Structure 1
Amino acid sequence: MSNRIADRLEIHECLYRYARGVDRLDYDAIVDCYFDDAVDAHGSYVGSAAGLVEDIRSRHQIIDSSQHYITNVIIDFDGEDRAHVESYCLAFLREQASEEGQPQNEAMSRCRYVDRFERREGRWAIADRVVVFDEFLTNQVQDLRRDEWVVSRRDRSDPVYLWGRDGSTPRP
């Protein structure tokens, strides 16, 4: 039983690292969630993880904020080294404003990741994924963040990569 707990934790961690990778545009982290021969059917994109990264790189050029929430993870093991995993995902993608201070379009997607995870050479990763969409909505939003707040960044300068890592607490 305890090995299955460790397996579940590793699968969960992979799902969460994928979400962080997309939200921070950490392309290496995205690719690391897949095996080299994995296939991802992701909306209009179907192909390898490397190709998915290029698709995200292109589609997210106009996105200034991205948050993926992974929930309701169900893991059904199929032998020692294979698991069928369903995860709900709620994603918010906000487009850059046409002019500073203007309303922005924000897309909200409710979808599910239907994955086949495999363990190869001791590592669990995605071997096959299809994204099943429930709905895709857009709204106009107005960002009301204050200037003194710590702001997220879509790269490795985001506080998650830096905050307290060297023993200090950097400030924006």
Structure 2
Amino acid sequence: MVGPDAADPSRTTDDPGPPTDAGQTPDAGRPAQSARATDPATLARLVDVEAIRDVVRHYCRGIDRMDLALVRSCYHPDAIDDHGTFVGTVDEYLAWVERLLGRYDATFHLVANQLVEVEGDLARSETYGIAHHRSSDPDPKLNLTIGFRFLDRFERRDANGWRIARRVATTEWVQAVTPEQAWPIPDGIGVGRRGPDDPLYGLVPGFPTHGA
């Protein structure tokens, strides 16, 4: 295809082209955008945001794999967790959630929107998510899908980086899954497991199976 520059001999390769409606050439503003993308403060913020999101994702893995050491590593030692029916310290929360998880055969936490706001060594994070809870017991209370938000105060205190200092978990909606809605997993299909026998941990020998 022949472009407009080839059709118009009066145009040179250095000609930026006609002005836009705003009186600027098509390339106007690009250097400023590029400079912002490589600005050290902007890059540092992006690194912080991703690190905070990683903590939330590791928390979800810890809960679903019942890896309580990994869950613990997501919190500062003096953190407070407020799950509505429970409010307490990290140690108290781990004892409570271990009993709670024992009611189910499996849980499955999905995170969606994550808004992270960073100010120095403090951050506020809002995570939307959906948590599936499944049990072989047909009791609807043991087969729930819950829409939730994690509202977290993150602090960076030492070389361990960002950790949760306070969490408030809100319940946005709850749906019960009836036996008629469930479908058995066929034999021979790989399934997730709680603990180090989950297929994830065998993918790369030497990778840790628990949080530090």
Determine the C-alpha separation between the residues in 2 that align with 1:104 and 1:73: 28
Matched residue, 2:144: 107
CA RMSD of aligned residues (A): 1.8
Return the offset for 1:155: 1.3
- Residue equivalent to 2:210: none
Q: Which has the higher strand share?
A: 1
Residue from 82, 86, 90 that aligns with 2:126: 86
Distance 1:63 1:143 in 2: 17
Residues 36 and 89 (structure 1), Cα distance of their counterparts in 2 relative to 1, 3 Å cut: same
8 Å CA contact retained: 2:104, 2:142: no
Whether the 8 Å CA contact 2:105–2:136 is kept in 1: the answer is: yes
Question: What is the letter of the counterpart of residue 148 of structure 2?
Answer: C
Matched-pair contact (CA < 8 Å) for 2:122–2:155: yes
Deviations 1:118-144 (A, max 9, x none): 101131010001011111221124342
- Within the alignment, does 1:6 sit opposite 2:47 as a pair? yes
What's the counterpart of residue 169 of structure 1? none
Q: Distance in 2 between matches of 1:104 and 1:112?
A: 20
Given that 2:48 and 2:118 are in contact with CA atoms closer than 8 Å, whether structure 1 keeps it comes out as no
Q: Is contact 1:40–1:47 with CA below 8 Å preserved after alignment?
A: yes
Choose 1 or 2 for highest CA Rg.
Answer: 2
Give the 4+ runs in structure 1 shifted more than 2 A: 163-166
Write the distance in 2 (CA, Å) between the matches of 1:140 and 1:105: 10
TM-score (norm 2): 0.72
What runs of 5+ residues in structure 2 fail to find an aligned partner? Answer: 1-41, 207-212
Task: Indicate the percent of aligned positions where both proteins have the same amino acid.
Answer: 29
- Aligned equivalents of 1:118, 1:59: Cα separation in 2: 27
Task: Please tell me the residue identity of whatever aligns with 2:171.
Answer: F
Q: How does 1:10-159 map to 2 (within 5 A)?
A: 10-78=51-119, 80-97=120-137, 105-122=142-159, 123-141=161-179, 142-159=182-199
Q: Distance in 2 between matches of 1:145 and 1:66?
A: 15
CA distance in 1, matches of 2:178, 2:202: 32
Equivalent in the alignment of 1:165: 205
| Count of residues in Structure 1 that have an aligned counterpart in Structure 2 | 161
